[in-house]
């Protein structure tokens, strides 16, 4: 491999990029647009659940109990029902997501030490929201019940026999944005990197310049690497911009090493961009290459990388497929660097899988390209 020939191919590709500002705009504008769009729109947090209350007891005790819900950020009372049927109507019409029904004699039964059942009705048409709402309801009710038990036993809170002290590491506020944004960076860069390079070789065929390249003494590895080099710079700038937006705009903590992020991003970009080159070699058409690149990168990266859905919850055969999805490893790397601040020793398995993927795709691209016009 000769450096002069490699740099000549890279310079030729830079000229293509300069003559096509639309591609350059796509390389920088689309990742930022997608990051802002999904970063603000995609959230798994559930706050301000629309709640309708039916208080049949109407005592100071029942109002104190309901205040535990309204004072939290999870529930917002939108109406007070006068009948049980009104609660059902509010849930049916979508005016409320949660209904709380406090029975008659709530205060009296508590005073007598009886067990009181408070009914909570949830709209299960959105299973994720209903599951989280159920957890919030159980938590608030459990704390209220524990406080009553401690007071009835005549003990101070600090004298309770068991006290749970919970601590959440890496994301103590449990903000979904903190783990969505790093995952978004991996998904977006997987798609953009493959899309950009999927047009390179196909463009040579469509413009009729492949004949000139075939006639030169340039070797296939020099051609492939030369076409990749300009896009490496674009990819690194995109990742740097995405990291800055994530930390400065969305407030995601960055606890790891920027140098480690740079190094592992290079390995990831090599695999993703070489995949685009491989698609371009096989397709020989810019339209077809871009469609194939979008299909084989976006759907696997979005659905099978652990970005949105936990891989452990997938069927066994789908879990096996995730091992060949490079975005899976880059999502883990970004979350580890951003949120946990871990080093290469912890992320070595993921880095190794990315390097293996890049090696295999590079070998496939070199073997697929033939210096002939057939």
pLDDT of residue 218: 76
Residue 51's beta-bridge partner residues? 77, 98
Name the CA dihedral angle for 16, 244, 273, 289, rounded to a multiple of 10 degrees.
-70
The distance in angstroms from the start CA to the end CA of the chain is 25
Strand 119-122 with 49-55, pairing: unpaired
Q: Is 251 left (phi over 0), alpha (psi -120 to 50) or beta?
A: left
Domains and CATH numbers, the chain: 16-43+176-368 (no CATH), 49-159 (3.40.1710.10)
Which token pair is 313?
A: 């919850």
Quote the distance between the C-alpha of residue 278 and its chain's center. 27
**How would you write the chain as a 3-class SS string?**
CCHHHHHHHHHHHHHHHHHCHHHHHHHHHHHHHHHHHHHHHCCCCCCCEEEEEEECCCCHHHHHHHHHHHCCCCEEEEEECCCHHHHHHHHHHCCCCEEEEECCCHHHHHHCCCCCCCEEEECCCCHHHHHHHHHHHHHHHHHHHHHHHHHHCCCCHHHCCCCCCCCCCCCCCCCHHHHHHHHHHHHHHHHHHHHHHCCHHHHHHHHCCHHHHHHCCCCHHHHHHHHHHHHHHHHHHHHHHHHHHHHHCCCCCCCCCHHHHHHHHHHHHHHHHHHHHHHHHHHCCHHHHHHHHHHHHHHHHHHCCCCCCCHHHCCHHHHHHHCCCHHHHHHHHHHHHHHHCCCHHHHHHHHHHHHHHHHHHHHHHHHHCCCCCC
pLDDT of residue 16: 73
Which token pair is 211?
A: 């004949």
Radius of gyration from C-alpha coordinates of the chain: 28
pLDDT of residue 373: 47
pLDDT of residue 334: 93
Strand 98-102 with 119-122, pairing: antiparallel
Among all chains, which residue has been given the structure tokens 């506020």?
173
pLDDT of residue 307: 83
The answer to whether 337 and 261 have CB atoms below 8 angstroms apart is yes
pTM: 0.78
Among all chains, which residue has been given the structure tokens 């490699």?
6
pLDDT per residue as tens, the chain (374 positions):
677 777 777 887 777 777 777 777 777 888 888 888 888 877 766 788 899 999 999 999 889 889 988 888 889 999 998 998 999 888 888 888 999 999 898 888 888 878 888 888 988 877 777 888 888 888 888 888 888 877 766 544 444 444 445 566 787 776 778 888 998 999 999 988 888 888 787 777 777 677 677 667 778 787 888 888 888 888 899 999 999 999 999 889 999 999 999 999 999 999 999 998 899 888 878 888 888 988 899 888 988 888 877 787 788 888 899 999 999 999 999 999 998 888 999 999 999 999 999 999 999 988 887 655 45
Cβ contacts of 52 within 8 Å, gap of 6 or more: 77, 78, 79, 80, 81, 86, 87, 90, 91, 95, 96, 98, 99, 100
The span from the CA of 203 to the CA of 289, in Å, is 10
pLDDT of residue 156: 47
Q: Minimal CA–CA distance to 277: which of 189, 196, 372, 158?
A: 196
Which token pair is 205?
A: 């065929």
pLDDT of residue 214: 67
């Amino acid at each position: 491999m000769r450096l002069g020939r490699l740099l000549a191919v890279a310079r030729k590709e830079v000229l293509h990029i300069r003559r096509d500002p639309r591609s350059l705009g796509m390389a920088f504008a689309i990742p930022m647009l997608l990051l802002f769009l999904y970063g603000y729109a995609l959230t798994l947090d559930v706050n301000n659940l629309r709640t309708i209350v039916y208080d049949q007891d109407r005592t100071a005790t029942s109002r104190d109990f309901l205040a535990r819900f309204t004072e939290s950020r999870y529930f917002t009372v939108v109406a007070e029902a006068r009948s049980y049927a009104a609660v059902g109507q509010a849930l049916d019409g979508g005016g409320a997501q949660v209904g709380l029904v406090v029975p008659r004699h709530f205060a009296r039964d508590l005073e007598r030490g009886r067990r009181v059942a408070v009914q909570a009705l949830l709209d299960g048409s959105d299973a994720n929201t209903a599951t989280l709402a159920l957890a919030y309801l159980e938590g608030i009710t459990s704390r209220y019940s524990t406080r009553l038990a401690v007071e009835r036993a005549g003990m101070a809170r600090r004298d309770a026999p068991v006290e749970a002290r919970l601590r959440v590491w890496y994301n103590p506020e449990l903000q979904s944005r903190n783990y969505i944004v790093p995952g978004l960076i991996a998904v977006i860069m997987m798609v953009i990197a493959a899309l950009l390079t999927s047009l390179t070789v196909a463009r040579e065929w469509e413009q009729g310049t492949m004949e000139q390249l075939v006639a030169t003494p340039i070797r296939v590895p020099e051609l492939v690497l030369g076409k990749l080099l300009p896009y490496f710079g674009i990819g690194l700038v995109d990742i740097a911009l995405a990291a800055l937006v994530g930390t400065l705009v969305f407030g995601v903590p960055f606890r790891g090493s920027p140098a480690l992020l740079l190094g592992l991003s290079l390995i990831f970009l090599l695999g993703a961009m070489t995949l685009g080159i491989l698609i371009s070699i096989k397709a020989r058409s810019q339209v077809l290459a871009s469609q194939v690149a979008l299909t084989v990168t976006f759907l696997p990266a979005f659905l099978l990388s652990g970005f949105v859905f936990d891989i452990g919850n997938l069927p066994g055969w789908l879990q096996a497929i995730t091992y060949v999805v490079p975005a899976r490893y880059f999502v883990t790397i970004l979350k580890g660097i951003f949120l946990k601040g871990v080093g290469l020793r912890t992320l070595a398995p993921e880095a190794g899988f990315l390097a293996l993927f890049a090696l295999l795709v590079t070998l496939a691209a070199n073997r697929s390209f033939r210096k002939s016009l057939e």
